Amino acid sequence: MVFGRRRQAEEPEKGPEVTEEPAEAAEEAPADEAAAEAAPAGGGPWDSEDSFPDLQRLDFGSLRIPVAEGLGFQVNFEATQVDEEGNPLDGRPVAVLVQYEESAMQLQAFAAPKRSGIWDDVRRETAKDIQEEAKGQIQEGEGPFGPELLAMVPQPLTEEVLAEMPEDFRAQIPAEFIEQGWAPQIIRFLGVDGPRWFLQAVVQGAAIENEEQWQVLEDVLRGVVVVRGDAPMPQRDLLELQIPKEFREGGAEEEEEAVETFDPFERGPEITEVR
């Protein structure tokens, strides 16, 4: 499968305007029992208030993500300031990309209501966007985390797109796709409704069909801890992400190299491998 490097992560499309919950209500109301029950049995993702397995995790603020041999991590940024020519000057982290071999999984967490999840609505909106805007095809089904969405969208293969792809990915593209200027891109959307949060995982690459690579990403997803926080937030607002101290401080020689290349707007290697 083919997938390109995203310049910025996309949040689920926002619905009608929502109002922020009063702080008093947020403190007094019980946690969302329905959303908590919707979490998959036999493991996470976990809420930070849960009793979860003690694993080595990277702290991305609202997301604490397990690390394991062979995994790589990249933080995707969204520009918040641009210059007169539209070039980004500053940005905020909006997604964490977990990479394993030829597979990648993008993770984002959002604020959600106390007494109802939002995955059903987000899934319907995502399917509609794929069909109407991306001219793609969708298939709904049940997976290890509940309802999920499999999408096939045509990916343009312009010279710019091809230049941005890692060489090993580009080499796998059949010649006929390059000649026609597009290739079918398979994307798997998974969602988990938690207590006052919603976690979305978007999987691309070999893990769509390769069970061994998917199992590694599934284990990562099951080990994720979501830190919602107590502050009231509008529904579907992205929970704040931060750069882990391991990325900022360097420390070991390998980590120092990662920090040097960790420019969110610079082309080039941005994947930090955990050995």
Domain positions in the chain are 23-76+95-245
Cis peptide before 45 (omega within 30 of 0): yes
Helix (H) or strand (E) holding 58: strand 57-59
Task: List average pLDDT for each run of 10 residues in the chain, which is 275 residues long.
Answer: 34 39 38 42 84 94 96 90 74 94 96 92 96 93 97 87 76 81 90 97 96 97 96 95 82 40 29 35
pLDDT of residue 37: 42
Say what the pLDDT of residue 262 is.
30
Task: Please say whether the dihedral angle defined by the alpha carbons of residues 91, 4, 183 and 166, taken in this order, is positive or negative.
Answer: positive
Tokens 């029992």 locate to 33
CB 149, CB 124: distance < 8 Å: no
Q: What is the pLDDT of residue 173?
A: 80
Residue 42: its pLDDT value, please? Answer: 57
Structure-token match 């007169």, residue found: 84
DSSP string, 159-188: HHHHHHS-HHHHTTS-HHHHHHTEEEEEEE
Residue 267 in tokens: 């082309």
The rounded distance, in Å, linking the Cα atoms of 146 and 36 is: 13
Look at residue 110 in the predicted model and tell me its pLDDT. Answer: 97
Whether CATH 2.60.120.1690 fits 23-76+95-245: yes
